[in-house]
Amino acid sequence: MANLTNFIIAFLITAILLYELQPLAVRIGLVDSPNERKFHKGQIPLIGGIAMFFGFILALFSLKEVVGLEPLIASAAILMIVGILDDIHNLSVSIRFFAQVVAALFMVFGGDIILQNLGAIGLQGSGIELGYFTALIFTVLAVIMAINALNMCDGINGLAGGLTLITLSALAFIAWNANLIHSMNVLLLLIATVVAFLRFNLRALVFMGDAGSMFLGVVVVWFLISFSQGEQRAMTAATALWIFALPLLDTGSMTIRRLVKGHSPFKPDRGHLHHLFLDAGFSGIKTLFIILSLAVSLAVVGIFGLYFDVAEVIMFWGFISLFFVYFCLVSWMNKLV
């Protein structure tokens, strides 16, 4: 196991950058301002993504755990740069999508991270193996979905970071149990950077911005795919759904509702789960606690299903059933508020 010093390095570098970059962010316009959907006070620096990226990378080099992660670093760097530009200049959806596709292709062709096996999720318990081209499409879609799921959840202090922390913690536990020490060390470094960010974000001192949500999204989907593929996989593809459940449920149901209404899935509104709780009169802290508690519960279901050998077909269709219930419930709540 890696030295505790490396994790302290990741935490401290992230925390120092979060503190030192705030004046620069204000000067260059890398800030989030209040509007009809955002009710925070004043201009908040959007530096969380920059700080977490460099905190992670510098700690990674100190740990000497870089080998095999070069494509991940490249993908994360591309998305962080595009995210910064988007935070400042509000780039078009097509540019952001293009960057996400490029990042996904780096993962596939550089890191051999590709979603080729969906597991034994057929109605007869049969395995579903994808052809290479179909697997490539599925991988690109998975990357785009994960990145935008975190982005759309970034609506109240601590939510996107908290959801990421839950998924990373579940992945670190799975890596430890599978004796994937290298991956576990890398995940612990990521956890240290997210914890440092949350110390500032929970007090509304900084936001992660698109740079942060895209950085975290790509590292999460990297490990979700890599752990669920191959003959020596650490978990099933169905497990990946459960440990990243809340962002997928919220974004998936939101996308369907917007499309049914004839709206763009990227048109912002106040129909996300956290908005519904806030509009119903819950405070930000209570809303955060409820949603993160739900996320932890769903991740625990996924882990229990994995280690108690619950059939993949049950775990998968159980998640699909959960999505249907979630969609109906949130649609009903949207009509009430």
- Residue-range domain boundaries for the chain: 4-336
Query: Per 3-state DSSP, what percentage of the chain is helix, strand, and coil (rounded to 5)?
Result: 70, 5, 25
Q: Which residue has the tokens 């992230």?
A: 14
Cα-based angle 241, 245, 247 (whole degrees, multiple of 5): 120
Q: Which residue has the tokens 């510098």?
A: 58
* Overall pTM surpassing 0.85 (yes/no): yes
No. of H helices and E strands in the chain? Answer: 15, 4
Q: Which residue has the tokens 């899935």?
A: 265
Give CA 106 to chain center in angstroms: 18
| Greater model confidence, 264 or 116 | 116
pLDDT category of residue 128 using cuts at 50, 70 and 90: confident
**For residue 169, what are its two tokens?**
């913690």
Q: What confidence tens digit (pLDDT) does each residue in 196-247 have?
A: 999 999 998 999 999 999 999 999 999 999 999 988 899 999 999 999 999 9
